Amino acid sequence: MDMEKYDVIIIGAGPAGLSCAKQLGNSNLKVLLAEKNSVIGPKVCAGGLTGKSIKTLNLPDELIEFTYNKIHLFNKNNSFYIEDDSNFAYTIDRKVLGQWQLKQLDEFSNIEVKTDYRVSEITKEYIVINGEKIGYKHLVGADGSSSLVRRYLKLTTEKIGVAIQYIIPTTKYKDFEIYFDSNLFSAWYAWIFPHKNYVSIGCGGDPKTISSKQLKKNFSTWLEKHNIDVSQGKYEAFPINGDYKEYQFNGNIYLAGDSGGFASVLTGEGIYQALISGEEIGKIILNKNYHSLKLDDLINLQRKHHKILDRLVKAGKLRPLLIDVSKYLVKFKFFRKKVIKTIA
């Protein structure tokens, strides 16, 4: 029997894979979007969105859980707000986001979405799912931070973060909060992101600075310090890949989102980067002469975030002081706008 063939196979139906599929909708290409999970959407994530993602998604308002024009930042012994005239931070449930993106594919007859469909092997000509070989002309790795496609390409991954969180069913938290605690999280931070029926309380770290085991211990110390009860919470952990190399390989293989290392090593934000890289890779597949300025911007932003993170790491014991200085600087509109543009 002849091997089944697609023009494009996208592995992974996260924000990157779904936005790539949407871009390829209505084209004359036969596209397969293969997802290993049975339900599209759920993912270990705090569900924080920034203004950039909202503009990209054009999301209906009712899908957004909370909207903020200020972030409450906590430093060693004090706290302050970064506040703007317009909204710049939002929360959304990942299942809701995934299902909404999926629904947008309904109108395209050239896109086939298959769930419970785990790719187990990749070769130059085909992928293997449940023992079956399926051929491709273009292959898009949108399979997240432990990407099989990235491993097939033999790319090293060093700039990788680990983020852990508790999802707690409570409505008592209202503010979008970020906590810097140099001793516990080095240059990273802990967060409280409220959702309608739950809250994500988590933290991130660089495994090279703090081992995952130590990060979990430090997080418990921080939770105790802030009297946060996680006994009803669900514990989750997952890597975040910020080790970008290239997005196109051998002419017909592409990496989008976390598989491409597009997530920010500084903020841990990766949804926006996944949406943009997925969409832009779709455009490149449709037109091989297309030069993506949006991907250039994404790569520049990634470099900028790496530089800021390096400086914060090198600042060592001076980190809390730097954050204290920012507390005064954000009172000035120019600096405040610059900070918001860099992070949101």
- The contact set with ligand FAD (CB under 6 A) reads 11-17, 34-37, 43-48, 118-119, 142-144, 148, 163, 165, 202, 238, 240, 257-259, 263, 268-272, 274
- Give the shortest CB-234-to-ligand FAD separation in angstroms: 12
Query: What residues contact 282, with CB distance under 8 A and at least 6 apart?
Result: 19, 20, 21, 22, 23, 24
Shortest distance (Å) from residue 252 CB to ligand FAD: 18
Residue 113 C-beta: closest distance to ligand FAD, Å: 11
Any alpha helices (H) in 249-290, and if so which ranges? 271-286
If the CB atoms of residues 269 and 279 are measured against ligand FAD, the closer one turns out to be: 269
Tell me whether residue 146 or residue 335 sits nearer to ligand FAD (CB atom).
146
The SS3 call for residue 122 is strand
Q: How many residues does the chain have?
A: 344
Alpha-carbon distance 189 to 202, whole Å? 9
Q: How far is the CB of 2 from ligand FAD (least distance, A)?
A: 23
**Whose Cβ is closer to ligand FAD: residue 36's or residue 305's?**
36
The residue among 35 and 177 lying less far from ligand FAD, judged by its C-beta, is 35
Cβ-based neighbour number of residue 101 at 10 Å = 23
Q: In this structure, is the dihedral angle defined by the CA atoms of residues 58, 61, 62 and 65, taken in order, positive or negative?
A: positive
Residue type, 110: N
Tell me the closest approach of the beta carbon of residue 118 to ligand FAD, in angstroms: 4
- Asked if 6 contacts 30 with a C-beta cutoff of 8 angstroms, the reply is yes
| CB-based contacts of 122, cutoff 8 Å, min separation 6 | 128, 139, 148, 149, 152
Q: Which is nearer to ligand FAD, 48 or 182 (CB)?
A: 48
CB of 207 to ligand FAD, least distance (A): 13
Task: For residue 176, give the DSSP letter.
Answer: -
Nearer to ligand FAD (CB atom), residue 195 or residue 319: 195
The separation between CA 343 and the C-alpha centre of its own chain, rounded to angstroms, equals: 13
The nearer residue to ligand FAD, 142 or 284, going by C-beta atoms, is 142
CB of 290 to ligand FAD, least distance (A): 21
Smallest distance from ligand FAD to CB 314, Å:
25
* Measured distance CA(24)–CA(48) in Å, rounded: 27
Angle formed at CA 219 by CA 216 and CA 222, multiple of 5 degrees: 160
Cβ closer to ligand FAD: 235 or 332?
Answer: 235
**Minimum distance from residue 300 beta carbon to ligand FAD (Å):** 18
Which residues neighbour 202 within 8 Å (Cβ) at sequence distance 6 or greater? 46, 163, 164, 165, 166, 190, 191, 219
**Ordered DSSP codes for 207-243:** TTTS-HHHHHHHHHHHHHHTT---TT-EEEEEEEE--
Cα angle 133-135-141, degrees, rounded to a multiple of 5: 100
Residue closest to ligand FAD, measured at CB: 270
Beta bridge partners of 219: none
Residue with Cβ nearer ligand FAD (181 or 278): 278
